[in-house]
Structure 1
Amino acid sequence: MHRRPRLILVLSLAVAALLALGAVSWWHWRPLRVSAPADAANPRCAAMADDLPAKVHGQGRVRTTSGSPAVAAWGDPAVIWRCGVTPPGATTDECLDVDGVDWVVHVLDDGAAFTTFGRDPAVQVLVPHDYAPEPLLLSAFSSVAGAVPQGANHCS
């Protein structure tokens, strides 16, 4: 008589563990919601996508909801690459030269947005605070973004 309640308890715990594991797996494999920028269909974006790194800061690629090659993401929290964003014009925001590519920095509540300056199509890299100091990650993208010729605008 004592075996049946113990068996029910063991089965209940097993079912609870499987449900919890399933919830974690579903959350982990759920694609990251990212929209494609307005100029994502630019052929230069597709060409750059072929040269994106497999890992960024030791983090592998994660799936996104965007079907566009102009969007990519790595890690959790995700570092997000978006090609085809509106190129920034004249700005008072900080501007950095990283490996020969100029990036305009826009500080966000949860990290920073870096957008190539003087290049069209423009590339934006969203970097969460978890990867601080955020500009260090730009080296992973500068060689790819540098494939787009530099225009007249430069960091001063």
Structure 2
Amino acid sequence: MLSGCSNAVDVTAPPHSAACEPATAHWPAKVGAQTLRDISANGGAVSDARAWGDPAVIATCGWPAPGPTDKECLDVDGAYWVVEPLSDGVKFTTFGREPAIQVLVPDAYKPEPLLLPAFGAAAKALPTNGRTCK
């Protein structure tokens, strides 16, 4: 979640997945009150990643879909998200969609789940795999 020396946010992105293209067409212009930032994508396609605000909220598409899990899972307007606390924020991963979107939200934006509705259209544009939160 760190930004580089320039104004661009350094993002680790997965390899490009054509299945992400419908989702990335729905990346939000703003996340909360945070506006888009320039990114530098390491290892993946810039088109599959976005960042907003400072500190940056980072979204990437193209990750392997999570399998069955006992981790916390949220239903946000019909899009399911697995919640993983990090030392400096929270990682949300779409559940029941393949490939998956990951959204990294820094601690500065508590309560972090309130930012997830901005990603609903992108998440719902991904193909489903039949899994849902219980």
Instruction: Provide the TM-score with structure 1 as the length reference.
Output: 0.77
2:31 is matched with which residue: 19, 34, 56? 56
Which one has a larger percent helix, Structure 1 or Structure 2?
Answer: 1
Alpha-carbon distance in 1 for matches of 2:77, 2:57: 19
Instruction: Provide the TM-score with structure 2 as the length reference.
Output: 0.88
Task: Give the root-mean-square deviation of aligned CA atoms.
Answer: 1.6
Instruction: Answer yes or no: is 1:36 the counterpart of 2:22.
Output: no
Cα deviation, residue 132, structure 1: 0.6
Cα deviation, residue 149, structure 1: 3.0
Of structures 1 and 2, the larger Rg is shown by 1
2:22 is matched with which residue: 36, 47, 61? 47
Alpha-carbon distance in 1 for matches of 2:13, 2:129: 23
Structure 2 gaps of 5+ residues are none
Aligned partner letter, 1:88: P
Which one has a larger percent strand, Structure 1 or Structure 2?
Answer: 2
Alignment of 1:62-81 (within 5 A): 62-66=37-41, 67-81=45-59
Cα deviation, residue 30, structure 1: 2.6
Structure 1 gaps of 5+ residues are 1-25
Q: Calculate percent identity across the aligned residue pairs.
A: 48
For the residue of structure 2 that corresponds to 1:65, the secondary structure is: strand
Count of residues paired in the alignment: 128
Higher relative contact order (CA 8 A, sep 6+): 2
